[in-house]
Structure 1
Amino acid sequence: MFSRKGKTPRRHPPKKPPNSQKDPVGVYCRVRPLGTENEECCIEVISSTTIQLHAPEGFKTNRNGEYKETQYSFKKVFGVSVSQTELFDFVAKPLVDDLISGKNGLLFTYGVTGSGKTFTMTGSPGQGGLLPRSLDMIFNSIGPYQAKRYVFKTDDKNGMEVQNDVDALLERQKRENNLPVPKTPSSRQKVDPEIADMVKQEEAYKADGVDEDSSYSVFVSYIEIYNNYIYDLLEETPDDAIKPKPPQSKILREDQNHNMYVAGCMEVEVKSAEEAFQVFWRGQKKRKVANTRLNRESSRSHSVFIIKLAQAPLDADGDNILQDKNQVTVSQLCLVDLAGSERTGRTGAEGNRIREAGNINQSLLTLRTCIEVLRENQMCGTNKMVPYRDSKVTHLFKNYFDGEGKVKMIVCVNPKADDYEETLLVMRFAEMTQEVEVARPMDRPICGFTPGRRHRNQERGGPVDRDMPLVVDNLVYSLPPLPSCELTDPHDDITLPRLIEALQNRHRIRQMMIDGCLNLGCSNVIKSKFQELDSNLITRDNFIHEQNGKLFEKDKVIQNNKSEIERLEKKTRMQEHKIDILQKATKIYEDDKRSLQHELETRDQRLHREQSEKRRMEQRMQGVVSDTQLRWEKECERRVNAMQLEMQNKLWVKDEKLKQLKAIVTESKTPGRPEPPPRQTQPKRPSREEKRSAPAKRSASPSPLPTSTPVRPLHRRSRSAGGEKWVDHKPTTNVDLGTVLQPVIPNAIQVSAPNEKALSKCDRYVLTHQEVASDGEIQTKLIKGEVIKTRGGGQAVQFTDIETLRQEITTVPSRKRRSSEGKPTNGDGSDGTWTDVETRCSVALEMRAGSNMGPGFEGHGITK
């Protein structure tokens, strides 16, 4: 792979062999004591690995409105009475052991603001936290094997170089003479009593895996991540009261081993725990803190204290450190104090505090997202990209989650009820974090030199000239024999103590012989005996070392089996928990099913009742319809009878008129001068009551035939007929009545929907509208209007008249009778031919429409 133009190609180191052994992230929980005894507590410690959360009063979480109690399991739960020493033994001490063995470690505290994270990490005078106790254990373990100052030197690329004693001395003199800033306080200077009280512990811890044939040096650095920017808390800036210079942010870079580090960060070499903690305290004073409603000194940034341990083996003689950079092993322990998640509504934050809280919550959210993606990739077999780069916190510690060291987390919780919601979220995140597994770091290679070089160099004595007596020779060969040291069982607790006791006896006798030899003088023969004895002891030591290696392998297998068992037990517990959840969900679903079935049965019964009610209503309506039909039939019969009576009365009036006409005609045929017929008045038309009461009188004399044929009157045309042109708008939904009563407009443009083209060619408009009248017949309305041209060149319709057309059917009853001669007669016995003609002539055709009929409308009407 080639880089951009002008730069040398970047070399990638060879990939490390994949490590199949993985360890879960160790998550511990520490419960802070309540501030006052009267406060409501929402956390209860059930066992050494389990806590239970109680929802406070007024906080309901499930559907039934009941209070919900949840349990969470951790690797270890520390109650309110647990001391800092016990917490250090379980959590930080194994990480310090790994640091001295050349392995990396990450420990961070997580929790809500005011939950005791800073106290857990730093502590107080007399109650030192994890950080000062870790420093004290490191220097107690490597104190006799520390290299001189400036022998190890950083190369500003996250690596270490080794200088010889002369170069280290020159650099030490140069720094002491030329640096304008105050020198770093050494262990020989007077230390603050308060700092010494925090660092000095009741019990001096020492690591077991210290290599005596190596030299060590400790470097510390302290940074903070504020608003997603990295600042060096140990960087010395010149004080300028007029124009102070703001601190410069640092950037993250990747070294040749793909490990992330802060470029340009100051790394201070320290030689004692007090000196290291004093450097930490100097940076702690620069850390961003603020006073909020929940915490008097609330951390506004994430602080990271990095302890870097450099170690290099001695040469074959045990005098000097090897000047090979590849033999230098650098391990580091990161102690992270994360800022607490908070809600601005509770803390009362304003201005910059709101921005700080937002950045804190965003970085913690990114950490949660990375843990979720890691968990999903490991449990589901996916290969999603973990968003480390979204936050400086996750980007800096990317290597630890990729298998560069152990990861542990202490979840600090405040049991007061006000923090219940935030504590619930913290617990869920902690429970999810325990399911993430991190690859176990590889063991560092051991130098190929013979162990015990430093010790032999210290035990070298002067030349011996005199011979040793024969008693010493017998003593040499009379050393107690070594017992059998073959290990067959990893749980064997007898063989190793017996072998250790025998070696201690042999070493004591050997020391006595060396002391006697130094006092009395030894000959060359005795010296050769001692050399032979040394070689035998070295051989035995190598054998013991080999057996220890085998035992270590067995222990690793046992640990792997234990971790596998723990993982399976944890998985079993998780499955049991899921089964409980599924059983609860099944119970809820069954309850819902029963309630839904009950509701369905209730609705079915209601539906049956409604259907029966509907049937009863239908029967009732059928009865009402039949009653109404019968009533209307009677009413129609009554009306028909009334109409028949009325027609009989009209016929009677016609008969009277004919009789008078017949009398006049008869008188006019008499001889002599015809006299004018007397003037007769029109007979009074009887009223409806008189018609009903008076009997119908009919003329007995036959009516003469008419002398002329009745003339049918012509149809009267509409007054609107002319040269006007109409738009006949007939919707497609109109019903054809099947009669001659149809609106007919000659030379009209018929449309089913009006349009601008048709309106532009005509000056009148008519719309045919049909609706059902109150008596059940179809009623047709003709809505007429005039087409007016608008100024814009369009057309508008102004409605001027509405005509109503209704169809009425009237039946003329037949009253013809036949006389004895077989001729049709009227009701009074007279001849009905003339009467029938007059009756038919009385039924004329005329227009029965509105006052203003449209052009061309024709219809049949009945004259009464």
Structure 2
Amino acid sequence: MKGKTPRRPPKKPSNNQKDPVGVYCRVRPLGAEDEECCIEVISNTTIQLHAPDGLKANRNGEFKETQYSFKKVFGIKTTQRELFADVAKPLVEDLIHCKNGLLFTYGVTGSGKTYTMTGSPGQGGLLPRSLDMIFNSIGPYQAKRYVFKPDDKNGMEVQNQVDALLDRQKRDSQTSVPKTPTTRRIDPEFADMISPEEACKAGEVDEDSSYSVFVSYIEIYNNYIYDLLEETPFDPIKPKPPQSKILREDQNHNMYVAGCTEVEVKSTEEAFEVFWRGQKKRRIANTQLNRESSRSHSVFIIKLAQAPLDADGDNVLQDKSQVNVSQLCLVDLAGSERTSRTRAEGNRLREAGNINQSLMTLRTCIEVLRENQMCGTNKMVPYRDSKVTHLFKNYFDGEGKVRMVVCVNPKADDYEETLLVMRFAEMTQEVEVARPVDRPICGFAAGRRQRNQAFKDELTHRLEERGGPVDGESPTVLNQLLQSFHPLPPCEISGPNDDVTLPRLIDALEKRHKIRKLMVEEYNKTGKITLLRAQDSNLLSKENFIQEQRGRLGEKDKMIQNQKNEIDRLEKKSKMLEYKIDILQKTTNIYEEDKRSLQHELESREQRLQREMSEKRRMETRMQGIVTDAKLKWEKECERRVNAKQLEMQNKLWVKDEKLKQLKAIVTEGKTENRQPQRPSREKDKVPAKRSVSPSPVPTGPLVRPLHRRSHSAGGERWVDHKPTTNVDLDTVLQPNIPNAIKVNAPNEKALSKCDKYVLTHQEFASDGEIQTKLIKGEVFKTRGGGQAVQFTDIETLKQENPVAASRKRRSSETGPDGEPMERNWTNVETRCSVAVEMRAGSNLGPGYQHHGYPKRRKP
């Protein structure tokens, strides 16, 4: 039977609290002042990209100015110290408090990533400042060399003092010159990277723990991992290429580089030397865009081993389970580049392809993580597609904080690449990483190191007091004994054949034993033993009281620590909420600015529209006035021409009538002389001046049934008096008065059905410009359709004249239009007939004489 696969240890408990990936942006200065810039820093959290001149437009035919927000934006005047205080200092504090961290720089080639990470003399970057802060914080609490030892499985072992001493002696024997900080020669590149006034230190360092720092330096070149600190023997004849390393997973499911060199360092200078030793092996090349372009991703790993001291506070606790190992990874990613710009060939082209492929895999992993978190999906993140993402897989799964510094070059040539970098950074900010769980610490009471040191100081003080004068006697013998009490010689064994150290140590111990016996005898002689015992008993009671107070103090410290932890948790939560509020506030400000700009544009357009509308109304009013004036002018002109034409036609008709009358007079001359003029039988024949009656026209339409006409003497006729509202009151003496009449403004069937007579009062302009009134009379009949019809039978004209104009007319009327003299001996009948014919021919009934349901009047 096959054996069962051993169970893997369970993963660490997950934490529901998550923090977003902190993304910062740093803008480097332009190389030359005359270069075109495409980036503008709007605020300490927002930058804006401008499309450079001469670049092709997008699908819409235009380029829009795009804004991107970050946790913080560092301009061209930002110092390395300010950048470190905001970005890397919190990660170093977490490292000292047993939490992991990942910090990497990202950007286009030549954007200042290596300078941000490494720095220059006098301007140290994030890496040297992180090392300096670590050693400034844990310097007094560092363990001796080789007390902590890597176990080659991403863990640490704790050795006792004897094993550590043997390892130190073995190392010293292999090197001719001891490597101590005082004798080590520092490379001039790192001599003055950090000034003393810029040194910083972490707070709340556990003084009851012992620390040790290990560093390793690797590079990922063409998707292979190489150890930059590995020391291989140099063969000038056939040099061996470096061997690539593989990735493995430890018992806590964390990825690590198997077989990677881990160097224990005890000072900032020693760590600088190790870093520079590996930096010289890193692959760089000269390209068209960067003189020292990184051709690989470099990863500098700082491991901090921490273990509590024993109960006495002297040595490290020999318990591997109590050892906490935290690490900080500082990654300098190679810059993305386009071969069309770098003109890379051969190896450079292959390197660029692998760099771009690894960065593309990083983007893909971030996209899948973002999609899983925002959409609730459970897609597999392709960490294994690249060594970079596979190595830092555990960080995105919640093993530490993740920070990214996006470095950008503001020159216009890098606009398109910078646009892609900004989109990736914007997407990365939306990914949240689980907050690491605090690791438990040893349960010993705090302050062991301080108590041990205080106890040593107290013993030294008592020894000095006991060596003083007693009862006025001279302390000559005791002082001589104390002076002869020499310290122990060095007891480190140089090798297995060392026969000098042990005899020397035995001899020194025997001498000290003899001196001790003499001191005891001296004290016995002086009789101070009882006093010493009394002091010891008093000291014991005081120590018991101090121990009791320390126990209470320890409980208070635990309570304070719990409260501090709670305060830290609330502060972190408050910072997270403040960060979200800040993002929302920035978004609100952006929206408010957009709203204000759109509102301003809307107001300007409304004002312009109002101006156009007022101009349009003004133009309409002006055109209406012009049209009205033109219409009145043409109406007057047309009316004048019509009146003139009517007058002309009337004159011609009058001439013809006069000729006919003369001819009739010649033919019937004899008959008219024998006749007597008859008196008119009707009252209406007695027409005053200028009031004429035309003969009754012949009915034009068939009648259904004529109404019964009553006698005129009976007075039963009813009239429909039709007076339009447009008539003008002339205030004349002769006014038409029709008794028993129905007055209407417009004819209607109801009024016509009740009456048998119809009269229309019509006003118009005469040929001489005066107003004349016409009374058009008619009889009402029923039609076959059941309606009412009016048959006009008579027209009476009332006209006003100016005496001057009348005299002129009479003079002009004495001669005809053809110059012949007119006869003046007309009879009354002829005159009236001629006037009647003239009026009938010149009458204009107008459109008002045709009514709905009535037949249209025919022209005679």
Corresponding position of 1:101: 97
Q: What do residues 462-489 of structure 1 show as CA deviations (whole Å, max 9, x unaligned)?
A: 295999xxxxxxxxxxxxxxxxxxxxxx
Are the aligned partners of 1:92 and 1:134 in contact in 2 as well (CA < 8 Å)? yes
Q: Using the alignment, how far apart are the partners of 2:114 and 2:273 within structure 1?
A: 17
Quick check: 1:427 aligned with 2:422? yes
Corresponding position of 2:493: none
Are the aligned partners of 1:253 and 1:263 in contact in 2 as well (CA < 8 Å)? yes
Quick check: 1:362 aligned with 2:357? yes
Q: Using the alignment, how far apart are the partners of 1:547 and 1:300 within structure 2?
A: 51
Identify which of 55, 71, 86 aligns with 1:90.
86
Superposed counterparts of 1:645-794, under 5 Å? none
Are the aligned partners of 1:187 and 1:272 in contact in 2 as well (CA < 8 Å)? no
Corresponding position of 2:567: 554
Q: Using the alignment, how far apart are the partners of 2:402 and 2:438 within structure 1?
A: 16
- How far residue 550 of structure 1 moved from its aligned partner, in angstroms, is 1.3
Q: Using the alignment, how far apart are the partners of 1:67 and 1:403 within structure 2?
A: 40
Identify which of 210, 220, 229 aligns with 1:215.
210
Superposed counterparts of 1:430-441, under 5 Å? 430-441=425-436
Quick check: 1:250 aligned with 2:245? yes
Superposed counterparts of 1:398-797, under 5 Å? 398-460=393-455, 461-462=458-459, 524-525=537-538, 528-529=541-542, 531-533=544-546, 535-564=548-577, 566-567=579-580, 570=583
Corresponding position of 2:485: none
CA change 1:123–1:201 in 2 (3 A) is: farther
| 1:554 partner amino acid | I
* 2:88 counterpart SS class: helix
- How far residue 183 of structure 1 moved from its aligned partner, in angstroms, is 8.0
Q: Using the alignment, how far apart are the partners of 1:560 and 1:17 within structure 2?
A: 20
* 1:404 counterpart SS class: coil
Corresponding position of 2:110: 114
- How far residue 58 of structure 1 moved from its aligned partner, in angstroms, is 1.6
Identify which of 13, 35, 56 aligns with 1:17.
13
- How far residue 444 of structure 1 moved from its aligned partner, in angstroms, is 1.4
Q: What do residues 543-563 of structure 1 show as CA deviations (whole Å, max 9, x unaligned)?
A: 144124213313312422441
| 2:173 partner amino acid | N
Corresponding position of 1:344: 339
* 1:202 counterpart SS class: helix
Q: Using the alignment, how far apart are the partners of 1:192 and 1:565 within structure 2?
A: 44
- How far residue 174 of structure 1 moved from its aligned partner, in angstroms, is 2.1
Q: Using the alignment, how far apart are the partners of 2:589 and 2:365 within structure 1?
A: 27
Are the aligned partners of 2:11 and 2:252 in contact in 1 as well (CA < 8 Å)? no
CA change 1:8–1:578 in 2 (3 A) is: farther
| 1:462 partner amino acid | L
Q: What do residues 10-56 of structure 1 show as CA deviations (whole Å, max 9, x unaligned)?
A: 43112322201100000000000001110111111100100011110
Corresponding position of 2:710: none
Runs of 5+ unmatched residues, structure 2: 467-531, 599-860
Q: Using the alignment, how far apart are the partners of 2:172 and 2:6 within structure 1?
A: 38
- How far residue 283 of structure 1 moved from its aligned partner, in angstroms, is 0.4
Q: What do residues 90-137 of structure 1 show as CA deviations (whole Å, max 9, x unaligned)?
A: 001100000000000000000000000000000000000010000001
Are the aligned partners of 1:32 and 1:79 in contact in 2 as well (CA < 8 Å)? yes
Q: Using the alignment, how far apart are the partners of 1:450 and 1:239 within structure 2?
A: 52
Q: Using the alignment, how far apart are the partners of 1:256 and 1:264 within structure 2?
A: 16
- How far residue 314 of structure 1 moved from its aligned partner, in angstroms, is 0.5
Taking structure 2 as the reference length, the TM-score comes to 0.59
- How far residue 539 of structure 1 moved from its aligned partner, in angstroms, is 2.0
- How far residue 206 of structure 1 moved from its aligned partner, in angstroms, is 1.2
Q: Using the alignment, how far apart are the partners of 1:400 and 1:577 within structure 2?
A: 33
Q: What do residues 391-428 of structure 1 show as CA deviations (whole Å, max 9, x unaligned)?
A: 00000000000000000000000000000000000000
Corresponding position of 1:301: 296
CA change 1:74–1:404 in 2 (3 A) is: same
Runs of 5+ unmatched residues, structure 1: 468-518, 586-864
Corresponding position of 1:28: 24
- Is 544-553 or 155-164 further displaced after alignment? 544-553
Identify which of 359, 381, 385 aligns with 1:386.
381
Q: Using the alignment, how far apart are the partners of 1:576 and 1:129 within structure 2?
A: 34
- How far residue 62 of structure 1 moved from its aligned partner, in angstroms, is 4.2
Corresponding position of 2:257: 262
Quick check: 1:237 aligned with 2:232? yes
Corresponding position of 1:396: 391
- How far residue 239 of structure 1 moved from its aligned partner, in angstroms, is 1.1
CA change 1:143–1:551 in 2 (3 A) is: closer
Are the aligned partners of 1:217 and 1:311 in contact in 2 as well (CA < 8 Å)? yes
Are the aligned partners of 1:41 and 1:416 in contact in 2 as well (CA < 8 Å)? yes
Are the aligned partners of 1:133 and 1:199 in contact in 2 as well (CA < 8 Å)? yes
Identify which of 66, 70, 78 aligns with 2:66.
70
CA change 1:278–1:399 in 2 (3 A) is: same
Are the aligned partners of 1:100 and 1:209 in contact in 2 as well (CA < 8 Å)? no
Taking structure 1 as the reference length, the TM-score comes to 0.58
Corresponding position of 1:123: 119
Are the aligned partners of 1:102 and 1:331 in contact in 2 as well (CA < 8 Å)? yes
Q: What do residues 274-311 of structure 1 show as CA deviations (whole Å, max 9, x unaligned)?
A: 10111000000000000001100000000000000001
Are the aligned partners of 2:143 and 2:210 in contact in 1 as well (CA < 8 Å)? yes
Identity among equivalent pairs (%): 73
Are the aligned partners of 1:187 and 1:271 in contact in 2 as well (CA < 8 Å)? no
- How far residue 198 of structure 1 moved from its aligned partner, in angstroms, is 1.8
CA change 1:555–1:354 in 2 (3 A) is: same
Are the aligned partners of 1:61 and 1:68 in contact in 2 as well (CA < 8 Å)? no
**Root mean square deviation, CA, Å:** 3.2
* 1:306 counterpart SS class: strand
CA change 1:562–1:173 in 2 (3 A) is: closer
Q: What do residues 587-642 of structure 1 show as CA deviations (whole Å, max 9, x unaligned)?
A: xxxxxxxxxxxxxxxxxxxxxxxxxxxxxxxxxxxxxxxxxxxxxxxxxxxxxxxx
Q: Using the alignment, how far apart are the partners of 2:345 and 2:538 within structure 1?
A: 87
Corresponding position of 1:684: none
| 2:459 partner amino acid | G
Are the aligned partners of 1:136 and 1:200 in contact in 2 as well (CA < 8 Å)? no
| 2:321 partner amino acid | N
Q: Using the alignment, how far apart are the partners of 1:175 and 1:35 within structure 2?
A: 48
Corresponding position of 1:676: none
* 2:234 counterpart SS class: coil
Identify which of 226, 231, 238 aligns with 2:221.
226
Are the aligned partners of 2:120 and 2:189 in contact in 1 as well (CA < 8 Å)? no
Are the aligned partners of 1:375 and 1:436 in contact in 2 as well (CA < 8 Å)? yes
Q: Using the alignment, how far apart are the partners of 1:145 and 1:38 within structure 2?
A: 53
Are the aligned partners of 2:14 and 2:437 in contact in 1 as well (CA < 8 Å)? no
| 2:555 partner amino acid | N
- How far residue 66 of structure 1 moved from its aligned partner, in angstroms, is 3.0
* 1:542 counterpart SS class: helix
| 1:547 partner amino acid | I
Q: Using the alignment, how far apart are the partners of 2:240 and 2:316 within structure 1?
A: 42
CA change 1:552–1:230 in 2 (3 A) is: same
Q: Using the alignment, how far apart are the partners of 1:38 and 1:259 within structure 2?
A: 50
- Is 524-533 or 345-354 further displaced after alignment? 524-533
Q: Using the alignment, how far apart are the partners of 2:325 and 2:571 within structure 1?
A: 28
Q: Using the alignment, how far apart are the partners of 2:12 and 2:591 within structure 1?
A: 38
Q: Using the alignment, how far apart are the partners of 2:377 and 2:14 within structure 1?
A: 18
Q: Using the alignment, how far apart are the partners of 2:170 and 2:69 within structure 1?
A: 56
